[in-house]
Amino acid sequence: MSDVAGKVWTSDLNSRPGVRPDFDRSRTIRFYDTTLRDGEQTVGVVFSPQQKLEIAKKLDELGVGRIEAGFPKVSAEDGEAISLILGAGLTHSEVWGFARATRGDVEELVRLGLQASVIETPISDIKLKAYGISREEAVRRASDAVRYASQNGIRVAFFGVDGTRADLEFLQHIYSAAMDAGAKEIVLVDTIGVCTPEAAEFLVRWAKEWAGNDVPIHWHGHNDFGLATAIAIAAVRGGATWIQGTINGMGERAGNADIAEVALALQCLYDVPVEMKLEHIRVVSELVRRAGKYELEGWKPLIGDNLFLRESGAVASQFHIPEAIEPYAAELVGARRGIVLGKKSGLDSIRLKAKELGLDVPESQRAAVLEAVKRKGIANGGLVSDEELRAIVQSVADERSAG
């Protein structure tokens, strides 16, 4: 858990009586990363076994409690990646697999030497119809697969696909059957991202009542309505101790919950302890983006390129007081603060940037430099580079000398 003392500047309204929500703050929330499995289901993304190994090592440094290393039955490359990761000697993270509720899937887990895995089966009537499986068959498959995995020394977290659209009585029945067969943990799953935060909190709290306090509850949610982080937080409030998600929020459709966003919000807004070293998140994010060959918006929380850069002159004038213009310190997430120049810059922007670059720009020349910077920014349709600024400063100085 990162030390946030003196690094977070949020609202006093958050802690007002009647506003501050009730969490069990005696327990630390941990994260189960599925970037290498669910994240790879992002359209167009393929990770090689070696890339998965590199990502797993960085996830280990990040402090992720568990890494879902792949779905070996459906991909020989995933099996290779799992073998590499198991042999890497990770110091913190447990290595988990993913399997359907079939004997063949579990046999592959056993062959690879995995000691823990999610085992899934559809449980909503919509999904059961799509797969052509009856409720009774789903229960039989789940029980048989979980029992076989448990008999082979694999710790199982049972994962009911599309659980938030399942009949609650049947959900309890099939999860109870999986636990009777040996499942030690349960995953509540919002496969299509259709749950509200309130519904997620209810579902977790309700499941905790019949599963018992000794059964860890995971939450697995997607971001189709842009609420994955809020929903994960609500699940924690309901009693979930594991949040499943991905780096950068990648995944099917609108993606999964972004585990770093969830960790930041829990820690900084709700004072809930988390197990994650957020100062490493930007390194991990960049590695995953490079491997997946995709880019993110500059304004994305935690990892966006724009978060600690200031172009606006009005904001640059406050740059010396970070808490005036930022909600938390850049160092908390391993970022650097900086001034960039463009159409919206002001005189303070010129002063600060010149100081950063070691340029001598007398106060009498700043207005002319600023005017030229604005023109250049408009012409570029974006920012003015450091080299362009140096050229502008030299040009203004030459004009003054000639005059």
pLDDT tens-digit map of 24-42: 999 999 999 999 999 999 9
pLDDT at 111 over 60: yes
**In three state form, how does the secondary structure of the chain look?**
CCCCCCCECCCHHHHCCCCCCCCCCCCCEEEEECCCCCHHHCCCCCCCHHHHHHHHHHHHHHCCCEEECCCHHHCHHHHHHHHHHHCCCCCCCEEEEEEECCHHHHHHHHHHCCCEEEEEEECCHHHHHHHCCCHHHHHHHHHHHHHHHHHCCCEEEEEEECHHHCCHHHHHHHHHHHHHCCCCEEEEEECCCCCCHHHHHHHHHHHHHHHCCCCCEEEEEECCCCCHHHHHHHHHHHCCCEEEEEHHHCCCCCCECEHHHHHHHHHHHCCCCECCCHHHHHHHHHHHHHHHCCCCCCCCCCCCCCCCEECCHHHHCCCCCHHHHCCECHHHHCCCCEECECCCCCHHHHHHHHHHHCCCCCHHHHHHHHHHHHHHHHHHCCCECHHHHHHHHHHHHHHHHHC
Residue 2 scores a pLDDT above 60? no
Percent of the chain whose pLDDT exceeds 90: 97
Q: What pTM does this model have?
A: 0.93
Contact 202, 210 (CB under 8 A): no
Torsional sign, CA 102, 105, 110, 113:
negative
Segment 49-69 shows an average pLDDT of: 98
Is the model's pLDDT at 1 over the cut of 50?
A: no
CB atoms within 10 A of CB 192: 18
Report the Cα–Cα distance between both ends of the chain, in Å, rounded: 60
| Separation between Cα atoms, residue 279 and residue 62, nearest integer Å | 8
Backbone angles phi, psi at 25, to 5 degrees: -90, 10
Contacts of 229 (CB under 8 A, 6+ apart): 257, 258, 261, 262, 265
Return the percentage of the chain with pLDDT > 70, whole number: 99
Q: Residue 117: how many CA atoms within 13 Å on its side-chain side?
A: 32
**Is pLDDT above 70 for 222?**
yes
Q: Is the pLDDT of residue 102 over 50?
A: yes
| Average pLDDT over every residue of 261-278 | 97
Reported as a pLDDT band with limits 50, 70 and 90, residue 388 is very high
Q: Which residues pair with 218 in a beta bridge?
A: 187, 242
Q: What is the overall mean pLDDT for the chain?
A: 96
For the residues 371-390, what does the mean pLDDT come to? 96
Cα dihedral value 242, 61, 149, 130, nearest 10: 60
Domains and CATH numbers, the chain: 27-292 (3.20.20.70), 309-402 (no CATH)
* The pLDDT value given to residue 250: 98
pLDDT tens-digit readout, 120-174:
999 999 999 999 999 999 999 999 999 999 999 999 999 999 999 999 999 999 9
pLDDT at 403: 61
